[in-house]
Amino acid sequence: MKNYYKNYVDGNWIDGGSGVIPVDNPANGEHLADQACADFNDIDKAVKAAKRVHKEGLLTAMRPVERGRMVKKMGEFLLQNAPLISKELTLEAGKPLWESEIEIRGAARYFEYYGNQAETIEGKSIPLGENYYDFTAYEPYGVSAQIIPWNFPFEMTSRSLSAGLTTGNSCVVKTAENDPLTQYWFAKAAEYAGFPDGSVNLLCGLGKEAGVALSSHPEVNQIVFTGSVATGSAIAGEAAKNIVPCTLELGGKSAAIVYDDADLDNLLNSLRWGIFYNAGQVCSAMSRIIVPRKLQEEISERAGELAKSLSVGPGSERKEFGNNMGSLISELQRDRALALCQKAQSAGASTVTGGHKLNRPGWFLEPTIFNNVTPDMEIAQTEVFGPVLSIIPYDTDEQALDIANGTDYGLVSGVFTKDLDRAMVSAQKMRAGQVFINEWFAGGVETPFGGYGKSGYGREKGREALWNYIQTKNIAIRLGKGAAGRA
Ligand code: NAD
């Protein structure tokens, strides 16, 4: 790795007006490199470059299939370099190498998926009777501002950048302070694919400075944000002042309802991914399971065994693949998660396993399972963003649904049962943007994703997300010389 990473604006690598952000390896706390820290002027330069690209029609004049091929080329470039990018991502984000590899492949998949969609965005004609011809066309907004979180930094940038470019927007990406180093690969990928300077701009900076400068910039035409509710609310406020659309993908406190006929081996497999993948730093983590009282002890015991079986440690330790679970992103996040665990214990939750930090350098938290959690406890309501599962017992199906729907969030939800009727009735009643039946994280790049309630609004992923990046223009034509005015 290099010692110092610059920001990328209008095809140039630039220093940051606000100096540098030190980036540490969360798996041992050691300093990795410095990242240029953008200020208001750097953001302004990037937005102006993106605006120029839009005004000159450098992306919009292209035939969509050409733009789509370029987007796909970016993905191909990332795949070619996946082994290297994965190693760097593991160092800066603390995740095991195998998880980084999954993330880079997932990132490349977004470029493939959206690149393939470029020429499918078509308007329609609307019949208005004799003497009129009317049709709609879709146009990009112009400058797309994308503010990225640290949990899946590579995949989140890919998700919005690929869709933004496919639809002909020029993009300004504000990367996350904790793990911004690998983002330079997107600049290299854009150059490799032949995108004009200014189409892709990547800057890291502090949220309160560079983030605010971008979300409040009067020349930004559309905003995409993934992160916390508080920051999402602030960004939506800035978007409202400038009357620009904004997509918010905020967190969750997602629950799986387990019915008494569920296949428990299958449930346990979902649980391993649902709450321990990326050390639980996943907005759609399976952070609660709502279980029938008669299965509570069996499930809690098996979940505890699973948690204890995971190896936890630095992502590049253990030969090529890394441990089963890595560190949390920072001391701040680890201590926040730890404090929530301690409060759960004081509130009366029973600790099946975990609840402590690891006695080694780095920001590790043990895989943690709490049993006998009640729906009103803080641990059942607040997003931990760590490897912490709450088991909540229920007596009736109705009660299970009330508990599942009983938080401010509504990102995803799950049902485990062999009874399709029961699964579908529950899915219909669940207040969530996505429902997983018998497999947590079922779906993929193709399936729309986003929240109900405080989990946000708008959808990412799937064809549906393309509509975040385009606006409809209707063109109504009066033909011939008929009288003006009509019913
Ligand atoms: P955050 O929402 O503050 O940060 C996410 C991004 O927003 C970063 O790039 C940050 O620089 C930027 N940002 C911060 N303040 C801003 C502002 N006022 N205007 C514009 N941009 C701003 O999240 P965090 O503080 O890093 O993490 C706190 C909590 O957020 C976590 O514990 C977790 O619960 C949640 N979170 C959720 C997700 C998700 O995927 N939904 C991702 C990261 C964090």
- What pLDDT does residue 469 have? 98
The residues spanned by each domain of the chain are 4-250+455-473, 254-437
Closest approach atom of ligand 1 to CA 238: 19
Q: Tell the residue nearest (CA) to atom 11 of ligand 1.
A: 207
Q: What is the pTM of this model?
A: 0.96
- 64 alpha carbon – ligand 1 mean position (Å): 33
Exactly one of 283, 341, 383, 460 is catalytic; which is it?
283
Exactly one of 88, 99, 177, 249 is catalytic; which is it?
249
Does domain 254-437 fall under CATH 3.40.309.10? My reply is: yes
pLDDT over 70, % of the chain = 97
Q: Tell the residue nearest (CA) to atom 44 of ligand 1.
A: 227
Ligand 1 within 6 A of CB of 177: yes
376-to-45, 297, 383 alpha-carbon distances in Å: 48, 21, 14
Tens digits of per-residue pLDDT, 373-400?
A: 999 999 999 999 999 999 999 999 999 9
Tens digits of per-residue pLDDT, 41-61?
A: 999 999 999 999 999 999 999
- What pLDDT does residue 338 have? 98
Average pLDDT, the chain: 96
Secondary structure of residue 276 in the 3-state scheme: helix
Tens digits of per-residue pLDDT, 71-101?
A: 999 999 999 999 999 999 999 999 999 999 9
Residue type, 138: Y
Does domain 4-250+455-473 fall under CATH 3.40.605.10? My reply is: yes
- 245 alpha carbon – ligand 1 mean position (Å): 19
Is 233 a residue whose pLDDT tops 80? yes
Ligand 1 within 6 A of CB of 390: no
Q: Tell the residue nearest (CA) to atom 43 of ligand 1.
A: 227
Tens digits of per-residue pLDDT, 401-421?
A: 999 999 999 999 999 999 999
Residue type, 370: F
Ligand 1 within 6 A of CB of 285: no
Secondary structure of residue 442 in the 3-state scheme: coil
pLDDT over 90, % of the chain = 96
Question: What's the average model confidence in pLDDT over 130-154?
Answer: 97
Closest approach atom of ligand 1 to CA 337: 32
- 351 alpha carbon – ligand 1 mean position (Å): 29
Ligand 1 within 6 A of CB of 234: yes
Tell me how many degrees the CA angle 142-145-149 measures, rounded to the nearest 5: 155
Is 483 a residue whose pLDDT tops 90? no
More confident residue, 364 or 487: 364
- Interstrand relation of 20-24 and 222-226 (parallel, antiparallel or unpaired): unpaired
Those residues whose C-beta lies under 8 Å from the C-beta of residue 441, and which sit 6 or more positions away, are 270, 273, 274, 277, 284
Question: What's the average model confidence in pLDDT over 135-144?
Answer: 98
CA gap 162, 171 in Å, rounded:
10
Q: Tell the residue nearest (CA) to atom 22 of ligand 1.
A: 207
- 79 alpha carbon – ligand 1 mean position (Å): 27
Note the maximum CA span of the chain. 84
Ligand 1 within 6 A of CB of 299: no
Question: What's the average model confidence in pLDDT over 317-333?
Answer: 83
Residue 88 catalytic? Answer: no
- 455 alpha carbon – ligand 1 mean position (Å): 13
Helices (H), 138-255: 153-166, 184-193, 212-215, 229-242
Q: Are 19 and 128 in contact (CB under 8 A)?
A: no
- What pLDDT does residue 323 have? 81
CA gap 75, 155 in Å, rounded:
11
Question: What's the average model confidence in pLDDT over 150-177?
Answer: 98
Is 3 a residue whose pLDDT tops 80? yes
Is 315 a residue whose pLDDT tops 90? no
Those residues whose C-beta lies under 8 Å from the C-beta of residue 377, and which sit 6 or more positions away, are 344, 347, 348, 349, 390
Ligand 1 within 6 A of CB of 216: no
Is 322 a residue whose pLDDT tops 80? no
- What pLDDT does residue 459 have? 96
Q: What is the dihedral of CA 314, 179, 277, 161, to 10 degrees?
A: -150
Ligand 1 within 6 A of CB of 180: no
Ligand 1 within 6 A of CB of 283: yes
Residue 341 catalytic? Answer: no
